């Protein structure tokens, strides 16, 4: 375990619900990524613990979003992007050519920086992923939509306007709708790419509370440049700089007692 | 700040240089350009409306006593226009008795083409002795020979005058009107029988002939039922013909006697009368009602007299049907091509070259498309279709001749680049985040395209269709090669199976304008119709566009773009 930088003591010191296993949900081995020949990630090795919140922090352009987008192969959509190394999700390297990318993305959901609801009703937004899977029975859909919206702490706000266009919701509501849409397909992992960066403080707080709620069921990885946010919501934190993983540790330790000079400079605001 | 510096400062803020730098002149130029464009558009519409819509108004009839070179005569008719011409010009044209530097002359529509050599005459003001506005003169619109102007003398029934003691001129007039109305009903009945019953019989006969020919070509024995059916059809035809003959005879029964302006009296068949009025005795409501009837006739009736009289309904029908067919053909092709270019193909050099080629297609002159349509669609594809599916009709072609389908296809080809470009722009405007959102939920690219991208791009597709409709509805040149005719005997949509006859030729408003304006034997009579038809074409294109715009706005509301709305 220590090879991956895990500190079970640190994990166990935090007040979680009992009976959680802290095994590895996803592990990255010697990952290199380049855009049209320009390297963006170099020799990344790390493991993401199951049902915990892991935060990636670092200055702009350090590669934290690129790394996150490797976990559900969203980088495949970028022309000229080349990946070497392995990303293991339950003993399968997701970069093997035999892997069904759609299937992978159902297991590893993603929420983006800017809320991106589809221009459809609130209901259809949440049902979208299910309809893709061929689930069209109204009662079944109703059930999952309600459950997902409740999990995303949005149900009470939208239960009377399920048929309204989702674009009419506020930014914070839209982002929670996107989260509801993501968890409606029951993924194992949820990737959050700066989910609160375009939101006001109150909406940000709601998202953070939501993340805290969700980690009992999902493995969560969050990219953020807000260090306070990382400190508030995450169990593990990875600090990245210039495409390298500089330090990866329990959040407590990384913020209070960083081992690397670079990390200390960054979190104390002397750098970046 | 001392006085000198203050002066310099103020100078900097005033003066021409400052005014130009402030951007104010640009605002004025821009506003001027907009005003000029608006003025041009409204000027165009006003000109068309002024010249076109006045035509249907019942102008009063004037009687001119003319004395030219000692010769006295009377002209009865409508004054169409008046203008000032130089005496020089008139003398050079061989008009005698012109002394002055300038002369005024009036253009009079005097009608009676069957008794005078021309139905329009120029009268010099200097030769007019007296102008009167007599009561009791009538204007008769006829099926042939144009308008008749004169005084109603009496009515005749099979050559014997209809005279009763109580019949004064008012009673004669009202009897005349009721006979004209009866005659109108009679004519409609005749037309219905000719068009529907006889049309159906002819259609069935032709199918039977083709059937027989096909059987003969495959050396099969002719079954008995063909002969039976033919006999049945012939019997049907005899019945219809008998009915028609009776009706024809009824139509010939009455005639009317008219005193012309020059004193002659002539007897004319009443069956030829479309409508008769006494404009000088009409009240304003009656005039308005007449105007309404004429305008409706223009919109709803068929043309008469080499398209210079009557209505333009078949041309309206043909234009709209052709544009609709064109839209139905061009939309799927354009959208598929745009989706391929933007979503499927890699954005490499070949795609760029291909896209440039598509864009340049929009600049190819339309007549070139017409030639292509004729050579490829009509002679090539159409000829092959005939060989394959309609060999029994040869040598007369079925699809191997210009027709509605080829015209629509040619225009679809012509407007394809517009739809492709507009759709591609729409696809490009959809934020990448929306596609990523869909892909991140496990949708494949095809599912994302079908469920999210295409619905969101649908307003842009409609924009493409709007542009395509605007362009296609106004095209005339290519149509002349691939399917439009001066006069189509039947509409391409009727009650005979398969109802929509794509191989038929059709009429089109644009070509109608060209035909009436340039190919007409009687240009003075046709001119107002050219304006009216042009106005109608503009209105129809505007209407088609408005319909498409309304549809697009509904789609836009539904799939409101994300950008900026968050």
Mutate to test the interface with B, among A128, A172, A186 (most CBs of B within 10 A): A128
Q: Do A129 and B560 touch (CB under 8 A)?
A: no
CA angle B196, B202, B203 (to 5 degrees): 85
pLDDT digits (tens, 9 = 90+) for B251-293: 888 899 999 988 888 999 988 898 899 999 889 999 999 999 9
Give pLDDT, residue A2.
Answer: 40
Give pLDDT, residue A14.
Answer: 45
Instruction: Decide: residue A111, CB within 10 A, 0-12 exposed, 13-18 middle, 19+ buried.
Output: buried
> Nearest by CB to B434, which of A109, A116, A133?
A116
| Chain B residues within 8 A of A133 when measuring between CB atoms | 442
pLDDT digits (tens, 9 = 90+) for B540-553: 988 888 888 888 88
| Cα of B544 to nearest chain A Cα, Å | 28
- B8 pLDDT band (50/70/90 cuts)? low
Give pLDDT, residue B218.
Answer: 81
Reply yes or no on whether the pLDDT at A9 is more than 60: no
Distance from C-alpha of B493 to C-alpha of B507, rounded to nearest angstrom:
12
- DSSP class of A165: B
CB atoms near residue A39 (< 10 Å) = 14
- Residue B363 has φ and ψ, to the nearest 5°, of -95, 0
pLDDT digits (tens, 9 = 90+) for B199-234: 888 888 888 888 888 888 887 777 888 888 888 889
Interface of B with A in 331-390 (CB under 8 A): 347
Give pLDDT, residue A13.
Answer: 47
Reply yes or no on whether the pLDDT at B565 is more than 50: no
**Least confident range of B32-41, B453-462, B554-563:** B554-563
| Cα of A52 to nearest chain B Cα, Å | 21
Distance from C-alpha of B311 to C-alpha of B304, rounded to nearest angstrom:
8
Give pLDDT, residue B336.
Answer: 92
| Chain B residues within 8 A of A77 when measuring between CB atoms | 436, 439
SS (H, E, C) B407-419: HHHHHHHHHHHHH
Q: Give percent above pLDDT 90 in chain A.
A: 33
- B69 pLDDT band (50/70/90 cuts)? confident
Q: Do B440 and A72 touch (CB under 8 A)?
A: yes
Is B411 at the interface with chain A, CB within 8 A?
A: no
- Write out the two tokens for A96: 């093997």
pLDDT digits (tens, 9 = 90+) for A71-121: 999 988 888 888 999 898 888 889 988 889 999 999 999 999 889 999 889
Distance from C-alpha of B423 to C-alpha of B487, rounded to nearest angstrom:
37
Average pLDDT, chain B: 86
| Chain B residues within 8 A of A79 when measuring between CB atoms | 347
Q: Do A132 and B451 touch (CB under 8 A)?
A: yes
Q: Do A112 and B437 touch (CB under 8 A)?
A: yes
Give pLDDT, residue B145.
Answer: 86
CB atoms near residue B241 (< 10 Å) = 14
Question: Distance between alpha carbon A237 and the CA centroid of its chain, in Å?
Answer: 13
| Cα of A218 to nearest chain B Cα, Å | 16
Give pLDDT, residue B5.
Answer: 67
- B406 pLDDT band (50/70/90 cuts)? very high
Distance from C-alpha of B490 to C-alpha of B505, rounded to nearest angstrom:
9
Q: What is the mean pLDDT of residues B45-73?
A: 89
> Nearest by CB to A102, which of B437, B442, B451?
B442
Name the residue among A145, A136, A196, A146 with its Cα closest to residue A171: A196
| Chain A residues within 8 A of B458 when measuring between CB atoms | none
Distances (CA, A) of B127 to A118, B75, B104: 81, 12, 10
Q: Give percent above pLDDT 70 in chain B.
A: 95
Give pLDDT, residue B43.
Answer: 95
CA angle B356, B361, B366 (to 5 degrees): 165
Distance from C-alpha of A256 to C-alpha of A267, rounded to nearest angstrom:
9
Are the C-beta atoms of residues B268 and B258 closer than 8 Å to each other? Answer: yes
Distance from C-alpha of B36 to C-alpha of B552, rounded to nearest angstrom:
29
Q: Do A112 and B433 touch (CB under 8 A)?
A: yes
Give pLDDT, residue A97.
Answer: 87
Q: Do A106 and B444 touch (CB under 8 A)?
A: no
- DSSP class of B272: G
| Chain B residues within 8 A of A132 when measuring between CB atoms | 441-443, 447, 451
Reply yes or no on whether the pLDDT at A245 is more than 80: yes
> Nearest by CB to B566, which of A105, A128, A171?
A171
Distance from C-alpha of B74 to C-alpha of B63, rounded to nearest angstrom:
7
Distance from C-alpha of B4 to C-alpha of B444, rounded to nearest angstrom:
75
- DSSP class of A33: E
| Chain B residues within 8 A of A76 when measuring between CB atoms | none
- Write out the two tokens for B154: 């009496």
Give pLDDT, residue A37.
Answer: 87
**Least confident range of A6-15, A123-132, A152-161, B123-132:** A6-15
Radius of gyration for chain A, computed over Cα atoms and rounded to the nearest angstrom: 18
Distance from C-alpha of B565 to C-alpha of B556, rounded to nearest angstrom:
13
- Residue A167 has φ and ψ, to the nearest 5°, of -70, -10
Name the residue among B546, B547, B543 with its Cα closest to residue B535: B543
| Cα of B355 to nearest chain A Cα, Å | 20
């Amino acid at each position: 375990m220590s090879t991956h930088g895990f500190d079970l003591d640190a994990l166990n010191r935090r007040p979680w619900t009992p009976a959680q296993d802290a095994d590895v949900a996803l592990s990255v081995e010697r990952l290199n990524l380049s855009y049209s020949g320009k390297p963006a990630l170099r020799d990344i090795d790390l493991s993401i613990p199951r049902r915990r919140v892991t935060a990636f922090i670092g200055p702009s352009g350090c590669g934290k979003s690129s790394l996150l987008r490797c976990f559900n192969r969203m980088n495949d959509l970028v022309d000229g992007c080349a990946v070497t190394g392995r990303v293991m999700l339950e003993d399968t390297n997701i970069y093997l050519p035999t892997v069904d990318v759609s299937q992978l993305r159902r297991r590893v959901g993603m929420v983006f920086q800017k809320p991106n609801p589809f221009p459809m009703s609130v209901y259809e937004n949440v049902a979208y992923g299910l309809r893709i899977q061929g689930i069209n029975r109204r009662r079944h859909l109703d059930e999952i939509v309600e459950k997902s919206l409740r999990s995303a702490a949005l149900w009470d706000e939208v239960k009377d306007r399920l048929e309204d266009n989702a674009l009419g919701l506020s930014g914070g509501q839209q982002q929670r709708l996107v989260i509801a849409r993501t968890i409606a397909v029951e993924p194992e992992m949820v990737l959050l790419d700066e989910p609160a960066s375009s939101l006001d403080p109150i909406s940000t707080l709601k998202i953070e509370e939501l993340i805290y709620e969700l980690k009992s069921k999902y493995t969560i990885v969050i990219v953020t440049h807000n260090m306070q946010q990382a400190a508030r919501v995450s169990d593990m934190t990875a600090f990245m700089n210039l495409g390298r993983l500089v330090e990866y540790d329990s959040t407590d330790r990384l913020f209070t007692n960083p081992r690397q000079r670079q990390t200390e400079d960054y979190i104390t605001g002397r750098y970046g | 700040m001392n006085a000198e510096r203050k002066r310099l400062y103020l100078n900097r803020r005033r003066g021409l240089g400052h005014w130009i730098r402030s951007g104010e002149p640009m605002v004025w130029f821009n506003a001027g350009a907009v005003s000029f464009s608006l003025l041009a558009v409204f000027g165009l519409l006003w000109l068309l409306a002024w010249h076109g819509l006045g035509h249907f108004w019942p102008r009063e009839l004037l009687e001119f006593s003319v004395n030219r070179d000692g010769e006295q005569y009377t002209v009865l008719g409508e004054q169409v226009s008046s203008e000032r011409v130089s005496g020089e010009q008139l003398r050079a044209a061989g008009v005698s008795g012109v002394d002055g530097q300038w002369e005024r002359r009036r253009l009079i529509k005097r009608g009676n083409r069957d008794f005078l050599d021309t139905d329009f005459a120029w009268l010099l003001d200097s030769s007019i002795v007296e102008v009167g506005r007599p009561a009791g003169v009538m204007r008769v619109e006829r099926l042939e020979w144009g308008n008749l102007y004169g005084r109603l003398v009496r009515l005749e029934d099979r050559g014997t005058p209809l005279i009763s003691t109580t019949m004064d001129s008012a009673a004669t007039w009202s009897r005349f009107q009721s006979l004209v109305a009866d005659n109108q009903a009679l004519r409609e009945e005749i037309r219905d029988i000719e068009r529907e019953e006889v049309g159906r019989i002819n259609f069935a006969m032709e199918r039977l002939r083709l059937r027989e020919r096909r059987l003969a070509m495959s050396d099969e024995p002719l079954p008995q039922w063909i002969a039976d059916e033919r006999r049945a059809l012939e019997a049907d035809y005899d019945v219809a013909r008998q009915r028609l003959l009776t009706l024809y005879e009824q139509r010939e029964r009455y005639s009317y006697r008219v005193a012309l302006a020059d004193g002659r009296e002539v007897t004319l068949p009443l069956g030829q009368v479309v409508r008769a009025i006494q404009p000088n005795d009409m009240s304003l409501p009656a005039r308005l009602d007449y105007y309404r009837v004429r305008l409706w006739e223009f919109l709803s009736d068929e043309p008469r007299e080499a398209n210079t009289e009557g209505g333009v309904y078949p041309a309206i029908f043909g234009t709209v049907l052709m544009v609709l067919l064109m839209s139905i053909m061009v939309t799927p092709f354009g959208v598929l091509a745009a989706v391929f270019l933007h979503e499927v193909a890699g954005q490499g050099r070949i795609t760029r070259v291909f896209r440039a080629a598509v864009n340049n297609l929009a600049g190819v002159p339309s007549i070139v498309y017409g030639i292509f349509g004729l050579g490829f669609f009509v002679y090539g594809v159409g000829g092959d279709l005939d060989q394959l599916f309609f060999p029994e009709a040869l040598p007369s072609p079925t699809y191997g001749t210009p027709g509605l389908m080829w015209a629509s296809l040619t225009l679809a080809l012509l407007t394809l680049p517009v739809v492709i470009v507009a759709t591609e722009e729409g696809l490009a405007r959809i934020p990448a985040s929306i596609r990523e959102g869909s892909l991140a939920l496990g949708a494949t690219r095809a599912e994302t395209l079908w469920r999210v991208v295409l619905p969101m791009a649908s307003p842009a597709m409609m924009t493409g269709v709007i542009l395509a409709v605007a362009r296609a509805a106004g095209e005339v040149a290519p149509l002349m090669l691939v399917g439009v005719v001066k006069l189509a005997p039947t509409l391409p949509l009727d009650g005979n199976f398969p109802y929509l006859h794509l191989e038929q030729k059709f009429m089109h408003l644009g070509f109608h304008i060209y035909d009436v304006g340039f190919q007409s034997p009687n240009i003075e009579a046709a001119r107002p119709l050219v304006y009216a038809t042009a106005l109608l074409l503009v209105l129809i294109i505007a209407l088609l566009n408005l319909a498409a715009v309304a549809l697009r706005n509904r789609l836009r509301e539904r799939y409101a773009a994300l950008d900026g709305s968050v």
